[in-house]
Structure 1
Amino acid sequence: MKSHSTTKKELKIGWHHIDADGKVLGRISTDIVEKLMGKDKVNFVGYINCGDKVVVTNAKKVVLTGAKEDKKIYRTHTGRVGSLKELTARQVRAKNAPRMIFTAVKGMLPKNRLRKVRLANLYIYGGEENPHQNQSNLKKDA
């Protein structure tokens, strides 16, 4: 008996819609990563991008537990001396709310060649409005 290995032709790529309103950042990020990688599918293989596309709305309303709103720090650095920038989660939410979810998801994905491809399948919007809302194949996830 031969074992079957999934090929790109057999994959069906779907769309998932996740509403981040009132949900904890870490919990919602693990759900997003599972769908981006395709771990929830029967025919998952690690060397092919078999994940679905994920649309996240209401990124401004995601919840951080404890005192992370003021204590969690997001750092960026251009590589030049003295260019380290540090922002708290509260400042990041005011300036660019989708960045919080993007950073959490990026940190949870495996550090390999498929990471960039999987992140390209993630669409994050700060509010309710998005260009994907009228798609018929968009599954609403809790």
Structure 2
Amino acid sequence: MSTYMAKNENVECNWYVVDAADKTLGRLASEIAQYIRGKHKPTFTPHVDMGDYVVVVNAEKVKLTGKKWDDKKHYSHTNYPGGINEITYKELRDKNPEFIIEKAVKGMLPHNKLGRKMFKKLKVYSGPNHPHQAQQPEKLEL
């Protein structure tokens, strides 16, 4: 008996909606990454993109525990000497709340071509509305 290996043409993708209101960031991101990667399916194959599309709404209402809103920082660099930029997560939430969830989920996906392809299946919106009603997404409770 041989091990089942899924093929790209046999994969079915579903759409799910996740409400991020009052959910802890890390726990939410790890569950979303599981669905995007397809590990919740019994036919999971590591080298095939088997994941589902996940739409996250209410991204600005996600929680961080402790004093992380003030202490946790996001760093970026311009590749010029002295070009490091830092911003606290509180400022980042006010400026671009979608980026917080995107960054957390992207770090939990594979860091290769397949991971970049999987990351495109994540759609994050700061408010309760999203433009993906035509796909008839199911509500996912995490």
Tell me the equivalent position of 1:47.
Answer: 47
The one-letter code matched in structure 2 to 1:97 is: P
The one-letter code matched in structure 2 to 1:41 is: K
Give RMSD over aligned pairs.
Answer: 1.1
The one-letter code matched in structure 2 to 1:140 is: K
Q: 1: distance between equivalents of 2:79 and 2:129?
A: 36
Tell me the equivalent position of 1:69.
Answer: 69
Q: 1: distance between equivalents of 2:54 and 2:66?
A: 27
Q: 2: distance between equivalents of 1:4 and 1:119?
A: 25
Tell me the equivalent position of 2:119.
Answer: 119
Tell me the equivalent position of 1:139.
Answer: 138
Q: Gaps (5+ residues) in structure 2?
A: none
Q: 2: distance between equivalents of 1:119 and 1:50?
A: 12
Q: 2: distance between equivalents of 1:8 and 1:88?
A: 41
The one-letter code matched in structure 2 to 1:80 is: Y
The one-letter code matched in structure 1 to 2:28 is: I
Q: 1: distance between equivalents of 2:135 and 2:49?
A: 22
Q: Deviation at 1:133?
A: 3.3
Q: Deviation at 1:134?
A: 4.7
Q: 2: distance between equivalents of 1:56 and 1:45?
A: 25
Q: Deviation at 1:2?
A: 3.3
Q: 2: distance between equivalents of 1:6 and 1:118?
A: 16
Tell me the equivalent position of 1:83.
Answer: 83
The one-letter code matched in structure 2 to 1:43 is: T
TM-score (norm 2): 0.95
The one-letter code matched in structure 1 to 2:132 is: H
Give CA deviations for 1:44-90 in whole Å, capped at 9, x if unaligned: 11111110111000000000000101000001112122221100010
List 4+ stretches of structure 1 deviating above 3 A. Answer: none
Q: Deviation at 1:23?
A: 0.4
Asked if 1 retains the 8 angstrom alpha-carbon contact of 2:4 and 2:43, the reply is no
Aligned length: 141
TM-score (norm 1): 0.95
